[in-house]
Amino acid sequence: MDYKLLLQLKEAAAKKRAELPEEVLQGFDNSFNIEYAHNSTAIEGNTLTLIQTKAIIEDGLSVGGKTLREIYEVANHAKAFAYVQKCVAEGKTLDENTVKDIHALLMENILLGGVYRNVEVRITGAGHKPPAPSEMYRQVKNFFAELPYKTELNSIELAAWTHAEFVRIHPFADGNGRTSRMLMNYQLLMGGFLPVSIAKENRLEYFDALEAYAVNGDLTPFAGMIAGLEQQRLEEYVSIAEEQAPEDDSPTLKM
């Protein structure tokens, strides 16, 4: 990970953002929000396409031939991410109540959210088995106790650890992956970085990186993956910003 390069790109992106018209920024952000909702739900089996995801989130349309759960997953994802952005804008440090609120938004109209599981769970195909409920409660309390004091980690590593450790504990009966990816982006945004989306096509690399942490305590593969995604987003942002002059008559970004 070239963290120095990421800091330089972050500074360049911040300067470009200050120069861009509001409609250009909105287009860039909206495009990411749709892509993020699509990928994060698709990783867990949602079959909505990117265009269908856009129709639900941006256009407020219903989609035929899909289950209500799939539609709610996408709509809820947009609500939860908006909440994350609001909390970050207010400078709210990530804590247990905020995490439960995020989960509750993700699970709205699907199941009761923000409540820790009281059953054992397994992750299909994983070598790591999440802790039993009694042990899970202890580990999740330790997670939140440690969270403010991970000062040895840079912002990328902190985002990676927050995601990897939370999903390792697996405190909810469902929605742990989507919640963990929200927490990852919460930390990136708090660090002044851009949120990232893990493409559904990269789910095997993603699962392998999380497995390396869960089984061996090795955060390097996952932190490296997040750093690579962050670099791509920052470079894309700077590139698009350089192409968009303030006087551009048609600044709307295409998906």
Q: Which helix (H) or strand (E) holds 212?
A: helix 203-216
Q: Which of 244, 235, 192 is nearest to 9 (CA)?
A: 235
- C-alpha dihedral (203, 209, 212, 215), degrees to nearest 10: -50
What is the percent of the chain where pLDDT is above 90? Answer: 75
Confidence at 160, pLDDT banded by 50, 70, 90: very high
What number is the average pLDDT over the span 160-172?
97
- With tokens 């309390």, the residue in question is 141
Q: For residue 122, is pLDDT > 50?
A: yes
- 170 belongs to the catalytic site: yes
Mean pLDDT value across the chain: 90
CB-based contact 99:171 (threshold 8 Å)? no
Which pLDDT score, from 0 to 100, does residue 254 have?
A: 40
Percent of the chain exceeding pLDDT 70 equals 94
Separation of alpha carbons 81 and 75, rounded Å: 10
**3-243: CATH architecture:** Orthogonal Bundle (1.10)
Residues whose CB is less than 8 angstroms from the CB of residue 208 and which lie 6 or more positions away in sequence, other chains included: 221
Q: How confident is the model at residue 251 (pLDDT cuts 50, 70, 90)?
A: very low
User: What is the mean predicted confidence (pLDDT) over 129-148?
Assistant: 93
Q: Report yes or no on whether pTM surpasses 0.85.
A: yes
- What is the structure's pLDDT at 247? 52
Percentage helix, strand, coil, to 5, in the chain?
Answer: 65, 0, 35
Domain ranges of the chain: 3-243
Whether the per-residue pLDDT at 173 is higher than 80: the answer is yes
Per the residue annotation, which of 38, 77, 163, 170 is the catalytic one? 170
pLDDT at 242: 75
pLDDT one-digit tens code per residue, 203-241: 999 999 999 999 999 999 999 999 999 999 999 888 877
Flag whether pLDDT at 35 surpasses 90: yes
pLDDT band at 61 (very low <50, low <70, confident <90, very high): confident
